[in-house]
Amino acid sequence: MYQSSQKIKEFVEQARSIVITSHKSPDGDSIGSSLALFHILKKWEKKVQVVHPDPAPTFLHWVSGQEQIIDFETKREHAVAAIQSADLIFCLDYNHPSRVGDHMQALLVESSANKVMIDHHLHPADFCQAVISETTACSTCELLYTWIKDIDRLDDLDETSGACIYLGIMTDTGSFRFPSVSSATHEILADLIGRGVKHYLIHEAVYDTNTVDRIKLRGYALSEKLVCLNDIPIAYVSLSEKELEKYNYQKGDTEGLVNQILGIQGIKMAVLFVEKEGKVKISFRSKGDYFVNELANAHFDGGGHAYASGGISAESLDKTVEKFVTFVKDFIPKA
Ligand SMILES: [Mn+2]
């Protein structure tokens, strides 16, 4: 990693116009890493712009610098101009150009700028001149911090950029609970708090943002719609478009609901079916020797990680659930 770190530092020193990009459907790690790097490069008096494929979700609007993100969806001309004039492009929290969406991907691929990847996802594609790709890292923010440390510039991290890094680590680790969290992760967090980061405000800003409708929808889903299958440790919830409307559904309102189902004692696989625009979106979560990506892949046109996958069905909500109940039996590990 040390060699790549130095090379990236040289790229930055030579660059006249830097663009920071990240993947579609921004999350805490993509926004956090992009804006942390943005604040640092500003300190180095670099010309730097952040260009993302689509706008940040409202629960991340508080992040310092968020309003300066140029998103390709609503500020296309500005975004195109920024990418075309860049001589250095950072690709943060993704490792394949397709992750930025068709239109932005074409621009990215055509650009003759040097490209730098900092990422922690599996199977990186070969499209960057300098790469930090560590699939065991808990987040891109952790790798970004390590880069800054490697090039001996930790003194430039302050409360603002530190909060961005804290955000990415917190959201990508389910608040520091996943196996990807190491002692090094906690050392980084301790250092960030030492630099003035108010960790409790970040937790509040991200997690204490429920609307009354959202809480009621989740209450309804869990009290009225939870189904635990007989004799097997699998539970699911299905929600129709009508039910969502009743609670004035907003994008993100069912976020994390599937994890709550997985949190039931003894449950090894949790599934959430949500009817949207005539299709059914499916979220799978699991633990132990239950691997949901195989099921998602075999029957629901999906895939993902072993313990967290997604799928889609063009059949009705009822039919989809019925199909799931039938096929899931083939994916129960033999004792
Ligand atoms: Mn990430």
Q: Are residue 221 and residue 292 in the same domain, yes or no? A: yes
Q: Which residues is 313 bridged to in the sheet?
A: 280
Write down the pLDDT at residue 80.
98
Single out the residue in 207, 239, 263 at which a domain terminates.
207
- Report how far ligand 1's centroid is from the alpha carbon of 32 (Å): 9
Same domain, 309 and 239: yes
Verify that 184 and 66 share a domain, yes or no.
yes
The residue with tokens 């680590």 is 169
Verify that 242 and 150 share a domain, yes or no. no
Same-domain pairing of 184 and 234: no
Q: How confident is the model at residue 234 (pLDDT cuts 50, 70, 90)?
A: very high
Confidence band of 335 (pLDDT split at 50, 70, 90): low
Are residues 200 and 222 located together in one domain of the fold?
A: no
Please count the structural domains in the chain: 2
Query: pTM (2 decimals)?
Result: 0.85
Q: How far is the CA of 196 from the centre of ligand 1 (A)?
A: 23
d(CA 177, CA 198): 20
Distance (Å) from CA 172 to ligand 1 centroid: 6
The Å distance, Cα 231 to ligand 1 centre, comes to: 36
Distance CA 4, CA 11 (A): 10
Alpha-carbon separation of residue 270 from 116, 194, 261 (angstroms): 37, 38, 6
CATH number at residue 241: 3.10.310.30
Boundary of a domain, candidates 152, 172, 207: 207
Tokens representing 17 are 């116009």
Shared-domain flag, residues 326 and 238: yes
Instruction: Compute the average pLDDT of residues 172-182.
Output: 93
Q: What is the pLDDT of residues 20-72, one digit of tens each?
A: 999 998 999 999 999 999 999 999 999 999 999 999 988 899 999 999 999 99
Assign 308 a pLDDT band (cuts: 50, 70, 90): confident
Whichever domain contains 119, its CATH number is: 3.90.1640.10
Look up the domain containing 202 and give its range: 2-207
CA 142 / ligand 1 centre spacing (Å): 9
The set of residues, in sequence order, having a beta carbon less than 8 Å from that of 191 and lying 6+ positions away, is 154
Point out the domain boundary residue: 170, 185, 207.
207
**How far, in Å, from the CA of 29 to the mean position of ligand 1?**
5
Ligand 1 center to 179 CA (angstroms) = 14
Q: Does 106 have pLDDT greater than 80?
A: yes
- Do 257 and 324 reside in the same domain of the chain? yes
Average of per-residue pLDDT across 253-264: 94
Measured CA to CA in angstroms, residue 309 lies from 98, 173, 286, 294 at distances of 19, 16, 9, 9
Q: How far is the CA of 173 from the centre of ligand 1 (A)?
A: 9
The predicted-structure confidence for 183-218, as pLDDT tens digits, reads as follows: 999 999 999 999 999 999 999 999 998 999 999 999
- Are 97 and 107 in contact by the 8 Å Cβ rule? The answer is no
Looking at residue 248, its pLDDT comes to: 96
The model's pLDDT over 269-295, given as tens digits with 9 standing for 90+, comes to 999 999 999 999 999 999 999 999 999
Q: How far apart are CA 1 and CA 150, in angstroms?
A: 9
Are 123 and 219 in a shared domain? Answer: no
Rounded distance between C-alpha atoms, residue 181 and residue 239, angstroms: 33
Quote the tokens at residue 147: 């880069």
139 band by pLDDT with thresholds 50, 70 and 90:
very high
Distance from the alpha carbon of residue 59 to the mean position of ligand 1, in angstroms: 17
Per-residue pLDDT, averaged over 108-131, amounts to 96
Centre of ligand 1 to C-alpha 123, Å, is: 14
Q: Can you tell me the distance from the alpha carbon of 19 to that of 113, in angstroms, rounded to the nearest whole number?
A: 10
HEC sequence for the chain: CHHHHHHHHHHHHHCCCEEEEECCCCCHHHHHHHHHHHHHHHHCCCCEEEEECCCCCHHHCCCCCHHHCEECCCCHHHHHHHHHHCCEEEEECCCCHHHHCHHHHHHHHHCCCEEEEEECCCCCCCCCCEEEECCCCCCHHHHHHHHHHHCCCHHHCCHHHHHHHHHHHHHHCCCCCCCCCCHHHHHHHHHHHHCCCCHHHHHHHHHCCCCHHHHHHHHHHHHHCEEECCCCCEEEEEECHHHHHHCCCCCCCCCCHHHHHHCCCCCCEEEEEEEECCEEEEEEEECCCCCHHHHHHHHCCCEECCCEEEEEECCCHHHHHHHHHHHHHHHCCCC
Residue 74 identity: T
Residue 2 — pLDDT band, cuts 50, 70, 90? Answer: confident
When pLDDT is cut at 50, 70 and 90, the band that residue 143 belongs to is very high
Asked if 116 and 235 sit in the same domain, the reply is: no
Could you tell me the CA-to-CA distances from 171 to 20, 24, 30, 142 in Å, in that order? 20, 16, 10, 12
Q: What is the mean pLDDT of the chain?
A: 95
Distance 317 CA to ligand 1 centre (A): 31
